[in-house]
Amino acid sequence: MSAKKTAQLDPQQILESIENQIEMIQVLNEEGKIVNEEAVPKMSDEELQELMARMVYTRVLDQRSISLNRQGRLGFYAPTAGQEASQIASHYALEKADWILPGYRDVPQIVWHGLPLWKAFLFSRGHFVGNQAPEGVNVLSPQIIIGAQYVQNAGVALGLKKRGKKAVAVTYTGDGGSSQGDFYEGINFAGAFNAPAIFIVQNNQFAISTPREKQTAAKTIAQKGIAAGIPFVLVDGMDPLAVYTVVKEARERAINGGGPTLIETVCYRYGPHTMAGDDPTRYRTSDLDTEWEKKDPLVRFRKYLEEKGLWNEEKETEVIERAKEEIKDAIKKADETPKQKVTDLMANMYDEMPANLKEQYEIYTAKESK
């Protein structure tokens, strides 16, 4: 290529041209009104009601989990309020045969996929039983290492493809996770092998206290799919119908040989990063919180359903009371589970225990039997 030709290709202009074409998909505005008829998903009245019920239930679960954590009855916990559309609507677009590889904030999705709630509580306590999903429940344990699930998701998706399964592997991370090397390795591998994977980045604006604009110079996280050669979508993560639509389309594309998709859901977490001492008032303003609360996914979806005559205060109260009762039963069952022992850790860690640990195991077993 001549020097003259090269000079005509201004990289900055190319970048701006691409970024200016990226539009965020939205179906419902903040008032619960349809703003994009073409993107409205084909959902029955019963499906719309069930999605709303799951979102309300999940908000209650978050509130109760925070209370249980403060009481010392749960261990590690990452709040989810504000991300119900991103989490629950994306999961609602999946099928039972699909695999979910969650991050540590994504416990609601694996609970709705079939992990018993009492086991989710045990996971929070660090109990090994909390990592034992029932047979036929296709979930992995929530990943604590930031972004590591992206590489694993590519591998699970490739395995599904090799076995001829009509299913996808779905994983989640936050905007901070997109700065990890595993993020790009995962989407690149899946793209190279055309694996049926869906990669979701829940851009909730802050990775602990680091704002999204300090994660990358890119206008969107979604556009990072370009480098991996895979489709990408930017969606309003506070809009359950929009999230459902894009994930449903990504799934259909994947199981029909279209390969992986990278989805960025633009959302917000109302609470702290985790309950382990984070104070969001040190890095977020009350004005910013108020601005995002106006976009609340439950509020806009409630308005939409009420106008259609599909939701009312009575229905919501029923869901709230059911959630409280089931959460109470689940924490009781978690409390009744035998406490984890040192020998449990040793036995679960190794298929064939090393000689020095076997000796210690026998000593501890003898002590525990007394």
Catalytic residue among 59, 269, 284, 302: 269
The rounded distance, in Å, linking the Cα atoms of 235 and 227 is: 19
Catalytic residue among 105, 212, 251, 273: 273
Q: Token pair of 297, please?
A: 């996914």
* 91 among known catalytic residues: no
Three-state SS letters, the chain: CCHHHHHHCCHHHHHHHHHHCCCCECCECCCCCECCHHHCCCCCHHHHHHHHHHHHHHHHHHHHHHHHHHCCCCCCCCCCCCCHHHHHHHHHCCCCCCEEECECCCHHHHHHCCCCHHHHHHHHCCCHHHHCCCCCCCECCCECCCCHHHHHHHHHHHHHHHCCCCCCEEEEEECHHHHCHHHHHHHHHHHHCCCCEEEEEEECCEECCEEHHHCCCCCCCHHHHHHHCCCEEEEECCCHHHHHHHHHHHHHHHHHHHCCEEEEEECCCCCCCCCCCCCHHHCCCHHHHHHHHCCCHHHHHHHHHHHCCCCCHHHHHHHHHHHHHHHHHHHHHHHHCCCCCHHHHHHHHCCCCCHHHHHHHHHHHHHHHC
* 253 among known catalytic residues: no
* 70 among known catalytic residues: no
Closest CA to 222 of 211, 236, 209, 208: 236
Catalytic residue among 184, 283, 322, 364: 283
Q: Token pair of 40, please?
A: 């409205």
Which residues are catalytic, by number?
A: 269, 273, 283
